[in-house]
Amino acid sequence: MIMNSIKHKARLAITFVTTSIASRIKDTRGEVNVVAIVVLIGIAILLAILFKDFIIGLLNMLFEFITGNATEAVS
């Protein structure tokens, strides 16, 4: 019963997201929106490339910190 409720809610959420995306794509100003989205994705990719080493270092530091705290909490 609970699993059916969760599946139903998941289906509703997926339907909501897909209809929301579809309505945004079909917008009359869609061409401008698509161009803006492509430009923003390009900027995000460029920033990721430029700060790749910094991001990798930050993630490594965070995972080392998490692992250290986890081992301290267990022992």
Q: Residue 54's domain spans which residues?
A: 2-74
Q: Is the pLDDT of residue 25 over 70?
A: no
**d(C-alpha 30, C-alpha 24), whole Å:** 7
What does the pLDDT read at residue 3?
Answer: 58
**d(C-alpha 6, C-alpha 67), whole Å:** 33
- Work out how many domains the chain is built from and give that number: 1
**d(C-alpha 30, C-alpha 35), whole Å:** 9
The predicted model scores a pTM of 0.43
Helix (H, G, I), strand (E, B) or coil at 34: helix
**d(C-alpha 26, C-alpha 47), whole Å:** 30
What does the pLDDT read at residue 49?
Answer: 92
Q: How confident is the model at residue 73 (pLDDT cuts 50, 70, 90)?
A: confident
Of 1-10, 16-25, 65-74, the one with minimum mean pLDDT is 1-10
Q: How confident is the model at residue 26 (pLDDT cuts 50, 70, 90)?
A: low
Instruction: Tell me which residue of 67, 46, 64 sits closest to 56, measured CA to CA.
Output: 64
